[in-house]
Structure 1
């Protein structure tokens, strides 16, 4: 079971999302919080597999809560679920250590799959979120690192930039999931980036998409 901590200051949102997640055979909401301060305490006490984090809350917002959680627990996997795609929300949230970032307008099954992907170590970003963060992300160390990629790796990089998960890439290219993961690992190493999010940013920054 994927143990989920759900953080949102709207009670009806918490009730609705928690009710939906309870119908998923591989998930359970182990705790809820209505502000960032409570989220920190619960995250560090319960060590959930995935934290669903809203951004705009009283007492402490989701960005600061994410930052403090990651500072004290670097393995935390935090999925931002918010209504905001403003530059002053997207970039700081990812810089604070969030793993994934999706919108509340997403369909329920999209949110559920984003939880699964985040749990499996993948960064999930909607296309419009990726576009918003392009101009704010730090410039990569070099602008020609992608020249070291093989044709297959370049193909996979472009699919990463499209927001595809490892399983979706494997299905589209008719290759094994394990093979896909190896390619992704090689891509991250060659581009000298830490995760799929930064790989997607590199792709856009250098005009590959």
Structure 2
């Protein structure tokens, strides 16, 4: 039983799949310290609800319906308009690049859809208490992208005391290579353009891929469609 002295965390859900929202609601219902106060299919509905009633945490999908606002833009809106509300992302796109960009946009936690409902509940409590939640396996990859990430500040739930500002640490030459590649240039053409060897261009391209948390050309194009050009 929840006593009158206990903390009650309020949560709103955002996902364009009703079955996902219902599953989270059913799973959280037995938690005495967490109350779902809203469930929405669109970002517009969520923003309207938050204007009427604040929520401690918003559990939201990163990729919404094509006609809806994109995840990064919504995170930025929430950060500007509802500072006391802490967004928690639940997404199938759990890559270092996605996590880094989400944290930079104002997200307080990211849970992969491969995790269990029990882990989501832990993440909700962690974020509601003002700490960032990350999976332990994500921390080494984020360290490669941003050296200032202080692992000593991270506890067993992979939460830290304040929002992080992370970004892919691409060198100017790596940025040049990716931009040229996105313009349709081949490795040999890029090498000729910058008077470098083809092997150097290939090495710089693969180094940039590692920092972005991607491993193929198709993932690079998908990355730019969602987030714009990296760098």
The TM-score by the shorter chain falls in which range?
Answer: 0.5 to 0.7
The separation in 2 between residues aligned to 1:8 and 1:131, in whole angstroms, is: 29
- 1:95 match: secondary structure: helix
User: Alpha carbons of 1:196 and 1:38: their partners in 2 closer, same or farther (altered >3 Å)?
Assistant: closer
1:93 and 2:87 matched: no
Counterparts of 1:105-184 in structure 2, within 5 Å, are 105-137=114-146, 140=148, 157-158=151-152, 160=154, 163-164=157-158
- 1:134 match: secondary structure: helix
The separation in 1 between residues aligned to 2:21 and 2:136, in whole angstroms, is: 25
Structure whose residues are more often helix by fraction: 1
Following TM superposition, by how much is the alpha carbon of 1:109 offset from its aligned partner in structure 2, in angstroms? 1.3
1:54 and 2:48 matched: no
- 1:52 match: secondary structure: strand
Unaligned runs of 5+ in 1: 147-156, 167-183, 185-194, 200-209
Provide the TM-score with structure 1 as the length reference: 0.65
1:4 to 4, 8, 11: 11
Please say which structure displays the higher CA radius of gyration.
2
Number of aligned pairs? 157
The separation in 1 between residues aligned to 2:97 and 2:48, in whole angstroms, is: 25
Residue in structure 2 matched with residue 31 of structure 1 by the alignment: 38
Provide the TM-score with structure 2 as the length reference: 0.60
